[in-house]
């Protein structure tokens, strides 16, 4: 369909899961994609998958909790592809623990990856979007940014921050024709979801069965979330900003 033709996108956490699925979809729709991740092997394999499908992509190693890495990643993207139109702040982690058992180091890590990274990437990306006269930023939130969840205190806090940070950014940058939205997935079949079972000491099969307990009777596939991200990135959502798009099979309902 080429609905992102001539667009340049940056995707954090782009080597696997929702990020990888979105990179592939964006490339199929005509965008040049910079895939950012700390996993170089997976990141380069994602680039090869995009290129095999006829798309354009580059891998940039990036620790999104570090300002210099984020600045370099944005500048490298602009140097490689000539500009920047779309930022998908997707990198994220989860630690399944309550407030008593969560360590200070775990709290800081979750906040750094899930919240600080979005601040840093946006800080360096927005000036380049201004030069283009428009832009779209999509932040990965969660249903647990809108309601509580058990044994996930740092994750819930971080995703609540993402939801309201998205609204604040939409207010600040609307005058620059930059739209800022969040996508809020329910449980999705990613390595992170499966890691939760191990963290909680549960059998993976039982954990995934519980994740499927929602009106649609299943958890999501990464490509399903990617299609929602594509909507927010494209002109199909040209009058949408400051929103939180829930894609969770009815779980919040």
Give the residue numbers marked as catalytic.
155
Give kind and range of the element (H or E) at residue 104.
Answer: helix 104-111
- Nearby residues of 127 by Cβ (< 8 Å), 6 or more positions away: none
- Residue (of 196, 238, 231) closest to 246 by Cα position: 231
Give the burial class of 5: count Cβ atoms within 10 A of its Cβ; 0-12 exposed, 13-18 middle, 19 or more buried: exposed
Structure tokens at 138: 């999509």
Dist CA 57 CA 117 (whole Å): 21
Note whether 73 and 10 are within 8 A (CB): yes
First-to-final CA distance of the chain: 32
Q: Reduced to 3 states, what is the DSSP secondary structure of residue 149? A: coil
């Amino acid at each position: 369909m080429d609905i992102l033709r001539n667009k340049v996108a940056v995707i954090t956490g782009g080597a696997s899961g929702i990020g990888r699925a979105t990179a592939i979809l964006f490339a199929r729709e005509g965008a040049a994609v910079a895939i950012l991740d700390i996993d170089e092997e997976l990141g380069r394999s994602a680039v090869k998958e995009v290129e095999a499908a006829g798309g354009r992509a580059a891998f940039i190693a990036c620790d999104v909790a570090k300002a210099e890495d984020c600045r370099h990643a944005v500048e490298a993207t602009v140097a490689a592809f000539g500009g920047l139109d779309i930022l998908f702040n997707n990198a994220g982690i989860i630690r399944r623990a309550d407030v008593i058992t969560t360590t200070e180091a775990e709290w800081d890590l979750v906040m750094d990856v899930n919240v600080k990274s979005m601040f840093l990437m946006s800080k360096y990306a927005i000036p380049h979007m201004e030069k283009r006269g428009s832009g779209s930023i999509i932040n990965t939130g969660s249903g647990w940014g809108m309601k509580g969840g058990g044994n996930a205190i740092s994750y819930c806090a971080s995703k609540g921050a993402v939801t309201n940070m998205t609204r604040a950014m939409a207010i600040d940058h609307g005058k620059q024709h930059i739209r800022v939205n969040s996508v809020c997935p329910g449980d999705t079949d990613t390595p992170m979801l499966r890691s939760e079972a191990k963290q909680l000491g549960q059998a993976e099969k039982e954990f995934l069965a519980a994740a499927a307990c929602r009106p649609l009777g299943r958890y999501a596939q990464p490509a399903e979330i990617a299609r929602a991200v594509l909507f927010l990135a494209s002109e199909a959502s040209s009058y949408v900003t400051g929103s939180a798009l829930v894609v969770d099979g009815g779980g919040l309902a």
